[in-house]
């Protein structure tokens, strides 16, 4: 994996760190998803985004610090 792509991917770590803290961004009712207000489904969706985002950073990580004892 090229180094530039790897460091770009690491920026994905910022999504689950920053977005949950920018509360005014999602403290609203609309748009709804079915019966769920935005406030709820946005945070539920962030769970999936966190899994995928950090997962991608992991797949593109620099290997080699797993040296055995």
Partner 1 sequence: VNGAELGVFCALFFVITLIGLYSSRWRRGDLNLLEEWGLAGRRLGSFVTWFLQGGSLYTVYAFVAVPAHVYGAGALGFFSIAYALVIYPVSYVVLPRLWRVARDGAHVTAADYVQARFQSRTVAVLVAVTGIVATMPYIALQVYGIEVCVAQLGLPVEAALAVAFVILAGITYVAGLRSAALIAVAKDVLIWGTVIMAVVYIPIHLGGYGHVLHSVPAAKLELDSHLYASYATLALGSALALWLYPHALTGTFSASGADVIRRNSFLLPIYTAMLAMLALLAYMALVAGVQPSHHYGANSIVPDLFEQTLPPALAGFALAAIAIGGLVPAQVMSIAAANLFSRNIYRALLRPGASDAEVTSASKLSSLVVKVGAVVFILVVPATYVVNFQLAGGVWILQTLPAVFLALYARRLDRRAIVLGWAVGTGWGTYVLAQTGFDEATRSFAVFGHESVYVGLPAVALNLAVVLGGSALLRIGARLRARY
What does the binding site for partner 1 look like in residue numbers (CB under 8 A)?
13-14, 16-17, 20-24, 27, 29, 34-37, 39-40, 43-44, 46-47, 50-55, 57-58, 61, 65-66, 69
Least distance to partner 1, CB of residue 24, Å: 6
Which residue, 1 or 44, is less far from partner 1 as judged by CB?
44
Q: How far is the CB of 7 from partner 1 (least distance, A)?
A: 13
Q: What is the nearest approach in angstroms of partner 1 to the Cβ of residue 2?
A: 20
Dist CA 54 CA 31 (whole Å)? 27
Q: What is the C-alpha separation between 21 and 15, in angstroms, rounded?
A: 10
Which stretches of 13-68 are DSSP H helices? 14-18, 23-26, 38-59
The token duo for 36 is 């769920």
């Amino acid at each position: 994996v090229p180094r530039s792509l790897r460091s770009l991917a690491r920026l994905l770590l910022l999504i689950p760190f920053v977005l949950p803290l920018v509360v005014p961004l999602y403290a609203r009712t609309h748009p709804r998803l079915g019966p769920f207000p935005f406030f709820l489904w946005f945070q539920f969706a962030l769970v999936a985004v966190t899994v995928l985002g950090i997962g991608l950073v992991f797949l593109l990580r620099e290997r080699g610090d797993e040296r055995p004892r």
